């Protein structure tokens, strides 16, 4: 956890005061709706279907237990007792009152939190790998850089009124768990030949209605130049990005229009004016920020205790959870644990206030008082002693939060969709629930193996359906809700976009279609190690189409399931 110093705190406090006055003037009628809109958006307040929604920033997904307790208190006091973790590592409260928001922000500030720039046409919350700082394949710890960027982006006076929102992701490991290539800017931390830190910079990625994979415009940006280079990108975008059509206003369109090499040139030309200037980073600052991060003091523990081994070999339920929800840690004797927020009867990513309090207790007891929010809408306890895993599992089970489905089909990523969001074409949550119910048989789900299933209620793609191995998109046909299904998308370093399999489906057909896609996969997969998405890549989408749309295979579609369950 990065701990604010008094200046960090004062800036956040002053922001609350400023927004309190803006809200007061809005309510008094002296600040117009139009003038107020970007101000409230940049303080996290978004007006949606039923009520204003407040999106609280969880910078780079890192959350302390005392902050989670505060969120629980806020959810109880100002909302309906729950919150929703979004795919951008933020927390959304769906039922706040506009006039309460200044007080909520004031409460957040007491635990060093805010809602700054979680919405609006500005630089949004910086996201990163949810295993940052603990991943065994880590090259550079991204957390310090994320905080450097949080400070640079927070209340940045030049870039508060961009053509459109701007999202930056940082990854520091070999594997890209931050989806950098589908961000406006992706920063992939790497080491230079002499071991020095730098960043591979990609630009122009993004999902939304015109999904694009980002282009690498600089292979190695030495860390000192991180901010000036970003200033150059943002300035070129701010001055030249389209403002006449909000559907073509993201930086990806500028990159596409100019071509990536030309765009890179333009950035370089701008950068010559900024490079080496006062915003050039200095080692003292990087060290200062690193020192303000409270890091666990790891004990010297054996790599894997006999007790754990014994438990794994005798307790199948524990072993299954361990296999899916426990992840390697760079320190011997430790592990990272995913708390699945994908369970029966609850929308993906939703957590009640009581669960927040309970998880805060578990974080204190088992993981140095910290949690992470993942872009798959789960929580992570990142520093658990392996010898505590069994006890933690027991406690999570008691809370109903030990569903062993991480990386599997039922770990469904879904945006709030039509139940909450006014932009939606269709609802996401009932579809997620129907699929989860259809695939209730855990053995079967494990047999299917790794599969990312993502649902977005509209083209804005908050559920990242383009990069789901199976993606479901809500579409509007003659005013009713339909679902378009794509397959073959993937995130990570080799991100790819899914292909639509054909005409859309009604809500009650979706679970059937998923079942047929799975049946096709199981019939064609080349051994257990070949994932769904690999099979799609190998055989193409036609066989899948045939399973879904062709009548011939309908009867066969349930057979593999019965086999697996037998």
Partner 1 sequence: MATLIRNARVRPDSWRLLEGPFDRLLIPAEDGLLPDLPAEPLIVPLALWLRRRDDLVERLPHVGLWLAADQDPQSAAADLPRFGVIAVRFGEFADGRGYSLARVLRERHGYRGELRAIGDVRRDQLYYLASCGFDAFVLPDDEDPRGALAALTDFSDAYQSSVARPSPLFRRRLSGACA
Q: Tell which one of 234, 421, 487, 533 touches ligand SF4 (CB under 6 A).
A: 421
Nearer to ligand SF4 (CB atom), residue 310 or residue 500: 500
Distance of CA 413 to the CA centre of its chain: 9
Nearer to ligand SF4, 180 or 456 (CB): 456
CB 409 within 8 A of CB 451: yes
Residue 415 is a binding residue for ligand SF4 (CB under 6 A): yes
Q: Strand order of the sheet with strand 91-93?
A: 45-47, 52-56, 91-93, 82-85, 350-352
**Residue 14 binds which entry of ligand SF4, partner 1, none, CB below 5-8 Å type-dependent:** partner 1
Q: What is the DSSP letter of 552?
A: G
Nearer to partner 1, 191 or 288 (CB): 288
Binds 285: which of partner 1, ligand SF4, none (CB < 5-8 Å by kind): partner 1
Please give the structure tokens belonging to residue 75.
Answer: 């959810």
Left (φ > 0), alpha (ψ -120 to 50) or beta: where does 495 sit?
beta
For 276: left if phi > 0, alpha if psi spans -120 to 50, otherwise beta; the answer is left
Which one among 41, 104, 135, 424 touches ligand SF4, defined by CB under 6 A?
A: 424
Binding stretches for partner 1 (CB under 8 A): 7, 10-11, 14-15, 17-18, 22, 30-31, 35, 38-39, 121, 151-152, 154-162, 227, 235, 238-239, 243, 273, 277-279, 281-282, 284-285, 288
For residue 189, the minimal CB distance to partner 1 (Å) is 19
Q: Around Cβ 435, how many Cβ atoms within 10 Å?
A: 22
Ordered DSSP codes for 15-36: HHHHHHHHHHHHHHTSS-HHHH
Residue 52 as a binder of ligand SF4 (CB under 6 A): the answer is no
CB 16, min distance to partner 1, A:
11
**Binder to ligand SF4 among 416, 449, 489, 498 (CB under 6 A)?**
416
**417 is a contact residue toward ligand SF4 (CB under 6 A):** yes
Closest distance to ligand SF4 from the beta carbon of 456 (Å)? 4
Nearest distance in Å: CB 507, ligand SF4:
14
Closer by beta carbon to ligand SF4, 325 or else 456: 456
Closest to partner 1 by CB, 22 vs 210, is 22
C-alpha closest to that of 20 among 50, 40, 49, 48: 40
Around Cβ 300, how many Cβ atoms within 10 Å? 7
Does 456 bind ligand SF4 (CB under 6 A)? Our answer is: yes
312 binds, among partner 1, ligand SF4, none (CB under 5 to 8 A by kind): none
Q: Which residue matches tokens 């569903």?
A: 403
What's the CA gap between 460 and 451, in Å, rounded? 22
Residue 206 DSSP SS3: strand
Q: In the complex with ligand SF4, which residue's Cβ is closer, 231 or 481?
A: 481
Q: Residues 224-248, buried b or exposed e (16+ Cβ, 10 A)?
A: bbbbbbbbbbbbbbbeebbeeeeeb
Q: Which does 22 bind (CB under 5 to 8 A by kind): ligand SF4, partner 1, none?
A: partner 1
According to DSSP, the residues that pair with 378 across neighbouring strands are none
Angular region, 295: left φ>0, alpha ψ -120 to 50, beta rest:
beta
The answer to whether 409 contacts ligand SF4 (rule: CB under 6 A) is: no
Min dist CB 184 to ligand SF4, Å, is 17
Give the relative orientation of helices 142-153 and 226-240 as an angle to the nearest 10 degrees.
40
Which is nearer to ligand SF4, 91 or 424 (by Cβ)? 424
Task: Catalogue the E-assigned strands of 101-183.
Answer: 127-128, 168-171
Question: Which CB sits closer to ligand SF4, 461 or 535?
Answer: 461
Name which of ligand SF4, partner 1, none residue 157 binds, using a CB cut-off of 5 to 8 Å depending on partner kind.
Answer: partner 1
- With tokens 């509007």, the residue in question is 476
Q: Which residues sit at the interface with ligand SF4, rule CB under 6 A?
A: 415-417, 421, 423-424, 456-458, 460-463
């Amino acid at each position: 956890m990065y701990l604010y110093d008094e200046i960090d705190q004062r800036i956040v406090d002053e922001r609350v005061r400023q927004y309190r006055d803006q809200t007061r003037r809005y309510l008094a009628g002296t600040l117009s709706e139009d003038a107020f809109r970007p101000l409230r958006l940049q303080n996290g307040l978004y007006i949606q279907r039923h009520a204003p929604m407040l999106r609280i920033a969880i910078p780079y997904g890192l959350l302390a237990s005392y902050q989670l307790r505060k969120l629980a208190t806020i959810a109880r006091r100002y909302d309906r007792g729950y919150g929703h973790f979004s795919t951008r590592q933020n927390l959304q409260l769906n039922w706040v009152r506009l006039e309460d928001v200044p007080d909520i922000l004031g409460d957040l500030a007491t635990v060093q939190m805010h809602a700054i720039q979680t919405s609006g046409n500005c630089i949004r919350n910086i996201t990163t790998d949810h295993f940052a700082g603990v991943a065994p394949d880590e090259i550079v710890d991204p957390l310090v850089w994320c905080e450097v960027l949080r400070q640079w982006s927070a209340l940045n006076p030049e870039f508060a009124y961009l053509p459109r929102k701007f999202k930056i992701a940082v990854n520091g490991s070999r594997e890209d768990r931050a989806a950098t290539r589908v961000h406006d800017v992706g920063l992939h931390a790497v080491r230079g030949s002499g071991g020095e830190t730098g960043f591979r910079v990609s630009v122009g990625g993004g999902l939304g209605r015109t999904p694009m994979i980002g282009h690498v415009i600089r292979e190695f940006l030495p860390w000192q130049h991180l901010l000036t280079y970003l200033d150059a990108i943002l300035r070129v975008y701010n001055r030249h990005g389209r403002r006449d059509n909000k559907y073509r206003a993201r930086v990806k369109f500028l990159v596409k229009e100019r071509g990536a090499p030309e765009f890179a040139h333009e950035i370089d030309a701008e950068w010559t004016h900024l490079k080496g200037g006062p915003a050039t980073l200095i080692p003292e600052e990087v060290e200062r920020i690193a020192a303000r991060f409270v890091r666990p003091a790891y004990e010297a523990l054996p790599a894997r205790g006999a007790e754990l081994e014994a438990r794994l070999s005798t307790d199948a339920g524990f072993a299954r959870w361990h296999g899916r929800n426990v992840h390697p840690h760079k320190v011997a004797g430790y592990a990272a644990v995913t708390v699945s927020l994908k369970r029966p009867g609850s929308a993906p990513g939703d957590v009640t206030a009581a669960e927040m309090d309970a998880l805060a207790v578990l974080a204190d007891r088992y993981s140095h008082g910290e949690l992470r929010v993942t872009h798959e809408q789960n929580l992570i306890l990142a520093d658990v002693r392996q010898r505590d895993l069994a006890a933690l599992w027991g406690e999570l089970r008691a809370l109903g939060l030990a569903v062993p489905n991480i990386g599997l089909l039922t770990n469904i990523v879904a945006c709030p969709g039509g139940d909450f969001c006014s932009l939606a074409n269709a609802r996401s949550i009932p579809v997620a629930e129907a699929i989860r119910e259809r695939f209730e048989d855990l053995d079967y789900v494990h047999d299917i193996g790794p599969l990312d299933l993502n649902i977005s209620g509209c083209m804005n793609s908050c559920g990242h359906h383009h990069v789901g191995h199976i993606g479901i998109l809500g579409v509007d046909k003659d005013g009713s809700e339909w679902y378009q299904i794509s397959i073959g998308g993937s995130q990570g370093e080799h991100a790819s976009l899914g292909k639509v399999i054909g005409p859309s489906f009604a809500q009650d057909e979706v679970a059937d279609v998923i079942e047929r896609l799975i049946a096709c996969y199981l019939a064609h997969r080349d051994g257990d190690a070949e994932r769904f998405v690999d099979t799609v890549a190998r055989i193409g989408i036609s066989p899948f189409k045939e399973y879904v749309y062709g009548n011939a295979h309908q009867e066969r579609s349930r057979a593999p399931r019965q086999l697996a369950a037998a």
